[in-house]
Amino acid sequence: DNHQSENALFSGKRVLISAGPTQEKVDPVRFFTNRSSGKMGFALAEAAANMGAKVTLVTGPVSLETGHQMIQRLDVVTAVDMYKTMHAHFPENDIVIKAAAVADYRPKQIYDEKMKKQSDDWHVAMERTKDILQSLGDIKEQQFLAGFAAETTDPVDYGIAKLEKKNLDAIIINDVAAQGAGFGGDTNVVTYINKIQDKDEITLRSKQAVAHELLLLIARDMKDETN
Ligand code: CTP
Ligand code: CA
């Protein structure tokens, strides 16, 4: 039956997922970060494991637990850590999904001691981090590579631009301004777009249910590519 076959949809497959925010320190007590609970990435890891995959979950600092036997969890803090860990595990994986909210900029200088209050203004010089997803797209071989796009305006246009620029097989667009798609919540609403720009809308539902639907779409598109 249908449920049986879904349980084995990813058996023998290895899935690499990134989740959560990164944290970029400026001094021992302060850091820059992005809003991300990690819930969507963790839901994807669990859904993939439930479908028989061997999952590696690379996560920034989050307050979530993983119980599944088939999930290997690797904790990272900075964008640099996440870059290294994702690249270390990329070659042996079949499906790679980047759900993390990676800092685009980090402080140019990290102070060893806590900054004391001085003047009325504090200007922190920032530098760009490497785009992890783009770097994986550049070296991709057999992998099915999917990214997320967090947008507040023109989500589909910006999403397609990211799909093409980063050499992805699919982009999952999060309209963060939409009802029920807010950060930290237990629900999401996304648009999935594949390489040939088929669009699939996943309407408002739990992040678990969204994850399940996304993996079915990925399985469909992987099958099409091998035909
Ligand atoms: N991403 C990444 N490394 C970065 C920045 C983003 O791997 N340094 C990944 C995210 O994990 C996500 C995708 O790129 O899967 C899109 O992230 P998003 O912030 O929506 O897009 P950006 O390309 O960073 O562009 P911008 O923030 O300017 O919209
Ligand atoms: Ca970004």
Q: What is the pLDDT of residue 227?
A: 58
94 appears as a binding residue in the annotation: no
Q: What is the pLDDT of residue 77?
A: 98
| C-alpha to C-alpha distance for 14 and 170, rounded to whole angstroms | 17
Question: What stretches in the chain show pLDDT beneath 70?
Answer: 1-4, 182, 226-227
Q: What is the pLDDT of residue 6?
A: 83
Please report whether residue 15 resides in a domain.
Answer: yes
Please report whether residue 161 resides in a domain.
Answer: yes
Any catalytic annotation for residue 227? no
The three state secondary structure string of 136-148 is: HHHHCCCCEEEEE
Q: What is the pLDDT of residue 177?
A: 84
114 appears as a binding residue in the annotation: yes
Please report whether residue 195 resides in a domain.
Answer: yes
Please report whether residue 115 resides in a domain.
Answer: no
Q: 153 alpha carbon to ligand 1 midpoint, in Å? A: 15
Domain count, the chain: 1
Please report whether residue 114 resides in a domain.
Answer: no
Q: Which residue range forms the structural domain that includes residue 34?
A: 2-106+121-226
Residue 76: which CATH number? Answer: 3.40.50.10300
Contact in structure between 215 and 207 (CB atoms under 8 Å): no
ipTM of the complex: 0.98
